[in-house]
Amino acid sequence: MRRLLSPLRLAAAGVVLLVVVLVVLVTRGSNQYLEVPDEAHPLQGLVQVPGAKPPKNGGDIYYVDVLLRPASLLESWVPAVRPEGSDIIARTQIVEPGISDKERFQLDLATMKVSQEVASVVALRQLGYHVPIRPDGVRVVAVTSGSHAAGLVRPGDVIVAADGKPVRTRTDLAAALSRHKPGDVVNLVIRRSGRKSTVSVRTTSDSQNPKRPIIGVLPIQALHAQLPFPIKFNLRKVGGPSAGLAFALELLEQRGRDVDRGYKVAATGEIELDGSVTRIGGIKQKTIGARKSHVDVFLVPVDGDNAKDAKRYAHGLKIIPVKTFQQALRALATLPKKG
């Protein structure tokens, strides 16, 4: 018995137990996510525009994103082991109930495509082009598991009417659902592969607001724009709408406008059709990423506390708060020409 309980054996058992616990903490996922800073990325070569002008003065437009990944139990409990500049956020803040991580990622990719389309319209209108665009219904990105819409509605479908009234925007769809109670049936007209059909979907309760009826889909605005020429974006697996401002600036740069004036310009902000620049998430991480990439200036939205928070983490990086695309252009135009 004394041999079994010798200090050496007890120490070895303790080490083994510690290793097992550490492995569990490192490999076992939590119900939280990590927002991690990523470097700023130049858009030159990622956006293709007919008749693009080659860069002349060494400047460039950069977009900034945030790496989002599940946090391990260890990272969730011990701040010291998290990557520098990262923050913990609850899964419920970014993923709706019934939606998988894969479906959330598909939503991010879909919002990125919308931001590219809107940025193209805003930039081309700034260049003097007449670019018609109209809302074209509500596109379904994902269908929540367990909802009554499963089997009736598919990802890629576009909802164009509800209860006999046109649905052009997400607001139209929300208005139609607001006339119902959870458990009611709503009649939807959907467009799939160019054909329209009607489906009847029984609503359920929103887990965050039980009195609010939902149909169990992740919707996104569908737009129809008539661009004067094709514009291609090649950002691969980057998602979300926050690069809209950077896209619009890059498009002007490629069409011959000296937007960057020789500076390395990072920009973030969701851009609207009227040119307004609205708040984005992860501003702390994006500011750190821009700073570590040694850009000269960083354009951020005034909306919300984005500009205020960016200045907290700038540490010498010049922050330019903007409300609109036109204001961003004016701010860059007033910078002394570099070099």
Average pLDDT over residues 107-136: 93
What percent of the chain has pLDDT above 70? 89
Contacts of 19 (CB under 8 A, 6+ apart): none
- Same domain, yes or no, for 232 and 326? yes
Q: Is residue 25 part of a domain?
A: no
Q: Provide the mean pLDDT of the chain.
A: 87
- Same domain, yes or no, for 217 and 304? no
- Same domain, yes or no, for 73 and 215? no
Instruction: Find, among 177, 208, 285, 298, the residue nearest to 240 by Cα.
Output: 285
Q: Please report which confidence band the pLDDT of residue 2 belongs to, taking 50, 70 and 90 as the band edges.
A: very low
What is the number of domains present in the chain? 2
Looking at residue 159, what is its pLDDT?
A: 96
Q: Please report which confidence band the pLDDT of residue 95 belongs to, taking 50, 70 and 90 as the band edges.
A: low
Long-range pairs, 197-201, Cβ under 8 A, ≥24: 199/152, 199/153, 200/152, 201/148, 201/149, 201/152, 201/153
Distance CA 140, CA 159 (A): 8
- Same domain, yes or no, for 265 and 121? yes
For residue 169, count other CB atoms closer than 10 A to its CB.
17
- Same domain, yes or no, for 82 and 143? no
- Same domain, yes or no, for 292 and 322? yes
- Same domain, yes or no, for 209 and 259? no
Residue 21 in this model has a pLDDT that exceeds 80: no
Task: Please write down the HEC assignment for all residues of 8-59.
Answer: HHHHHHHHHHHHHHHHHHHHCEEEEEEEEEEEEEECCCCEECCCCCCCCCCC
Distance CA 188, CA 185 (A): 10
- Same domain, yes or no, for 246 and 296? yes
- Which residue range forms the structural domain that includes residue 110? 35-94+101-125+227-333
- Same domain, yes or no, for 120 and 186? no
Q: Is residue 28 part of a domain?
A: no
Convert the pLDDT of each residue in 38-70 to its tens digit: 999 999 889 999 888 777 778 899 999 998 888
- Same domain, yes or no, for 113 and 238? yes
Q: Is residue 200 part of a domain?
A: yes
Q: Is residue 266 part of a domain?
A: yes
Average pLDDT over residues 248-263: 93
- Same domain, yes or no, for 113 and 40? yes
- Please identify, among 198, 224, 250, the residue that sits at the C-terminal boundary of a domain: 224
Q: Please report which confidence band the pLDDT of residue 24 belongs to, taking 50, 70 and 90 as the band edges.
A: very low
Average pLDDT over residues 188-210: 91
Verdict on whether the full-model pTM lies above 0.75: yes
Average pLDDT over residues 13-27: 51
Residue 22 in this model has a pLDDT that exceeds 70: no
- Same domain, yes or no, for 239 and 309? yes
Q: Please report which confidence band the pLDDT of residue 14 belongs to, taking 50, 70 and 90 as the band edges.
A: low
285 neighbors 85 (Cβ within 8 angstroms)? yes
